[in-house]
Amino acid sequence: KAGVTQTPRYLIKTRGQQVTLSCSPISGHRSVSWYQQTPGQGLQFLFEYFSETQRNKGNFPGRFSGRQFSNSRSEMNVSTLELGDSALYLCASSLLEGGNYGYTFGSGTRLTVV
Amino acid sequence: AQKITQTQPGMFVQEKEAVTLDCTYDTSDPSYGLFWYKQPSSGEMIFLIYQGSYDQQNATEGRYSLNFQKARKSANLVISASQLGDSAMYFCAMRGNTGGFKTIFGAGTRLFVKA
């Protein structure tokens, strides 16, 4: 079965621009989470969605937003990009919110802000 | 607040030997889950093993086992019979119930397996 698909894989943007990243979870998975990974900060939690509802939000500024659609696909948007937003953005899906279900991660979108 | 601590930035192990990767955590949730993930140099994160806070026995998955000591709030990963392909970053993670089911990750331990 298809894994978690993230598009695009690579992205180069200019400071001040905005960007939208997409994540298609494994079929049947209803929980989608987003993480920002950088060498200095490691894996930082951005959002968690379940059945189109944002269940949790990490400590990121309001420039970071997201949503989940009825087919469980999710998008995250970053407005007014800053150099520090350069990172690997990982999407992870899970069958349910809790329990012993580990995440299945996508390959990530590597965003470079210049 | 929840916190995961991995104190070993890097570890070396000889091929075919066992290695233990340390993880301590802090949470006020009465119920939580502990996870380990592997991230090879290719970048994908791979789920390895899960331990529930109320599980009486330590979790095992093939060559991976989780040494869970609840009173000490530790959840160390033991890899037996290390292989060259085990060289990767390893992340300990925790999911609690406070404020939803978000999962937080430790800083990771880079494991190098020597031939």
pLDDT digits (tens, 9 = 90+) for A23-63: 999 999 999 999 999 998 899 999 999 999 998 899 999 99
Q: Give the pLDDT of residue B2.
A: 85
- A104 neighbourhood in chain B, CB within 8 Å: 47
Question: What's the rounded mean pLDDT across residues B90-113?
Answer: 88
Checking DSSP bridges between strand A109-113 and strand A10-13, what pairing results, if any? Answer: parallel
Q: Which amino acid makes up residue A34?
A: W
A33, A104, A108 member nearest B103 (Cβ) = A33
How far apart CA B31 and CA A61 sit, in angstroms, is 30
A99, A103, A104 member nearest B103 (Cβ) = A103
Are the beta carbons of A92 and A35 closer than 8 angstroms? Answer: yes
Binned at pLDDT 50, 70 and 90, residue B58 comes out as: very high
Checking DSSP bridges between strand B32-39 and strand B46-52, what pairing results, if any? Answer: antiparallel
CA dihedral of residues A71, A72, A73, A77 (deg, nearest 10): 130
User: Which one is predicted more confidently, B103 or B70?
Assistant: B70
Q: Give the pLDDT of residue B28.
A: 87
- A99 neighbourhood in chain B, CB within 8 Å: 33
Binned at pLDDT 50, 70 and 90, residue B98 comes out as: low
**B45 to A56: CB separation less than 8 angstroms, yes or no:** no
A53 and B CB contact within 8 Å:
no
How far apart CA B103 and CA A35 sit, in angstroms, is 10
Length of chain B in terms of residues written: 115
Counted across chains A and B, CB pairs separated by less than 8 A come out at 59
Binned at pLDDT 50, 70 and 90, residue A99 comes out as: low
Are the beta carbons of B45 and B39 closer than 8 angstroms? Answer: yes
Interface test with B, best of A103, A104, A107, A110 (most B CBs within 10 A): A103
Are the beta carbons of A9 and A110 closer than 8 angstroms? Answer: yes
